[in-house]
Amino acid sequence: MATEITMPKLSDTMTEGSFIGWRKNVGDRVERGEVIAEVETDKAVMELEAFAPGVLLKTMAKEGEIVPVGTVLGLIGEPDELAAEGGVPPRTAAAAATPSPPEAPAPQATDVPPPRPAASLPTPPAGHDGADHEKASPLVRRMAREMGIDLSQVRGSGSGGRILQEDLAVQAAPATAAPKPQTEPISAVESATVPVGPQDATPSAGQPVPSAMRQAIAATVTRSWQEIPYFTATVEVGMEACREVVSELKGNDGQVGYHALLIKACGVALKEFPLLMAGQPGGAAGPVNISFAVALPDGLLMPVVRDCSRLAAVEVEREAARLADKARSGRLASEEMSGGGFSISNLGMYGVDEFDALILPGQVAILAVGAVAERPVVRNGQLVVAPTMRVTLSSDHRVVDGAYAARFLAELRRTLEQPIPLLASHVSP
């Protein structure tokens, strides 16, 4: 019996996805675990793998088509199974229940072609040159489509001629001065600048249509703004000791940065302040899982570093770097973006001193982090200059009161100002 390839539900909020294209042609042999297609969810571009071996018998989804979760995209099986089953299965009930534009021709299933000589190569589908898949990530290919750039005309500057995001900007420069994509962590609050209300009406002719990610961000921050009554509190942290640690370990295999020290410090401090983790799946008694913001050209993602209180700072550094790289290449798995109980948003690398961040729906608090900079401080009655960092905690006032938030910030400041224990795998509260 032929195996159905369906649009998977890759996140809690996903109801539909944009079908990007097939990586295999009808008639191609497919092995279990092999990538056969790509889809864009409300969070990222994801690769679909085959769950069974066989031949790609039919394809029922076209490039750029918006497909509800659960819809059959294609069939994998053996050539003789297609005739035995009487053709193409109907679209699922989920697809039938989804409102659609006026009657349009349904995508035509493609018949199984006659056997080809063993030495022949499959012809890539239109718009999906096989070479492009080898020299560009899914995120870069999506950006190229949105910018109207033919990847076959782009000279890649990456290893082995791989096309990078910067190469697209260079290619587009003669027509429009495209800004260089940001690749640093960015604040969730920056997404709050997305227009909401009447401005969010369906774009008129000539206006760009927001991507699935942009629409998801708009919905998330609108929900946060309207549903979570929050307050903020700010403290200034002395960063001399952290600067010494970062400088001392720089260039070593065990190097750490300010961001890793901050995630680790929050993981330790949160063990004493469980109310700030009250929204975490499984409750605040479990491991401390911290989300952090990573910027993309079209928005941001919030991958999760798990069990932060038990990881050493160097392990946090490596895990955060791994997740950030996957986020920028559009390869984060849904489970790598779920289960966070607390969030960190860092704008320090942009020179921002302090700011407020919006709380992710389902969580109780988020920490907004400013730049480490030389500032005047008073010590023993004398005015001196020292490196400090300002952090602002946004808390859901339905769960947390001001004094509780203040005590957490005091503990976080104490932990960061004495950072040596953070280098260990486990720090007792």
Q: Which residues belong to the active site?
A: 397
User: Quick one: which of 128, 90, 137 has its CA closest to 297?
Assistant: 137
Residue written as tokens 């790598």?
336
84-106 burial code (b ≥16 CB/10 A, e <16): eeeebeebbebbeeeeeeeeeee
Query: What are residue 56's DSSP bridge partners?
Result: 76
Strands 66-68 and 72-77: unpaired
Count other C-beta atoms under 10 Å from residue 258's C-beta.
21
The closest of 142, 58, 429 to 267, measured between CA atoms, is 429
Q: Is 162 exposed, middle or buried (0-12, 13-18, 19+ CB in 10 A)?
A: middle
d(CA 263, CA 393): 14
Which ranges constitute the DSSP H helices of 250-306? 258-270
Q: With H, G, I as helix, E, B as strand and everything else as coil, classify residue 388.
A: strand
Nearest alpha-carbon partner for 128 in 55, 58, 25? 25
CA gap 145, 45 in Å, rounded? 13
Give, as one character, the DSSP assignment of residue 199: G
Burial grade of 303 (CB within 10 A; 0-12, 13-18, 19 or more): buried
Residues 6+ apart with CB under 8 A from 237: 388, 389, 390, 391, 412, 413, 416, 417
Q: Where are the beta strands (DSSP E) in 297-419?
A: 299-301, 304-305, 342-346, 365-369, 373-379, 382-396
How far is 38 from 365, CA to CA, in rounded Å? 34
